[in-house]
Amino acid sequence: MPLTLATTTPGTPEIFASLQGEGPSIGRPSTFVRLSRCNLSCQWCDTAYTWRFEGDNRPHKDGFAFERTANQVVMAEEDVAQQIAALTPQRLVITGGEPLLQGAALARLAALLPQMHIEIETNGTVAPHRALDPLVHQFNVSPKLSHSGNPAELALIPERLVGWAADPRAIFKFVVAGDADIAEVLALLDRYEIAGDRVFMMAEGRSPQELHARSRWLAERCVELGLRFTDRLHIHLWGDTRGT
């Protein structure tokens, strides 16, 4: 099967060069590929156009359903690789949606790009395809807490969290809105024996104003707890827009 990508405009795949906005690679020039489809439905998701299509009644705070054909495009791995190679940054960030749902096709894509440093953004519920796994340099794992609206049995799968905790390539990035979320994070770190220096705490927010309102509080909590703070640089620079 070829890859199913999100779009910036109808028919135009979301493949672009920018700065990584979150996590340990924040500020690094990167090439991004955004895939379509997700197995979870975060109510605050800022890329709902990758999964909440017409007929999908999973909850989202915007309540908007996207027309599928305008927001998805199917491409052969060779064509995706050609567009990636035309961009300058040699760090490739594959995001979504949930990219690991398309693991076999991603393995074929990665094999065409041996020069790239590959990061995959994942919600942590899907195991990497066996052919893809050795080609990935970094997994940015973002387990979804209860405030995302996803049931824990879907979002926090023990077998997968054990696997990520054992993988030195995995860093953990948690979206946080309040003290209850921090308590949930601390319980997960204790249960799965995840060291604090692998953990990034990120304020929930889809605008600079929302991020500013939560970031100082969260930064102070990170200092108290010995956890790492990450901003959402791309939101401050370009807002909540596609292709940035």
Percent of the chain with pLDDT over 70: 100
Between strands 72-75 and 3-9, the pairing is antiparallel
User: Which residues are CB-neighbours of 200 under 8 A, at least 6 positions away?
Assistant: 22, 23, 24, 171, 172, 173, 174, 227, 228, 229, 230
* Mean pLDDT within 3-27: 97
* Mean pLDDT within 13-39: 98
Evaluate if residue 87 carries a pLDDT over 90: yes
Predicted local confidence at residue 229, as pLDDT: 98
| pLDDT band with cut points at 50, 70 and 90 for residue 1 | confident
Is there a contact between 97 and 122 (Cβ–Cβ < 8 Å)? Answer: no
The structure tokens 């790009």 sit at 113
Predicted local confidence at residue 218, as pLDDT: 98
Using one digit for the tens of pLDDT, what is the confidence trace for 30-51? 999 999 999 999 999 999 999 9
Using one digit for the tens of pLDDT, what is the confidence trace for 101-152? 999 999 999 999 999 999 999 999 999 999 999 999 999 999 999 999 999 9
Using one digit for the tens of pLDDT, what is the confidence trace for 43-77? 999 999 999 999 998 999 999 999 999 999 999 99
Task: Provide the edge-to-edge strand list for the sheet that holds 12-13.
Answer: 12-13, 3-9, 72-75
| Average per-residue pLDDT for the chain | 97
Using one digit for the tens of pLDDT, what is the confidence trace for 175-203? 999 999 999 999 999 999 999 999 999 99
Is there a contact between 57 and 84 (Cβ–Cβ < 8 Å)? Answer: no
Predicted local confidence at residue 81, as pLDDT: 98
Domains of the chain: 3-199 (3.20.20.70)
Predicted local confidence at residue 166, as pLDDT: 98
**With left for phi above 0 and alpha for psi between -120 and 50, is residue 53 left, alpha or beta?**
beta
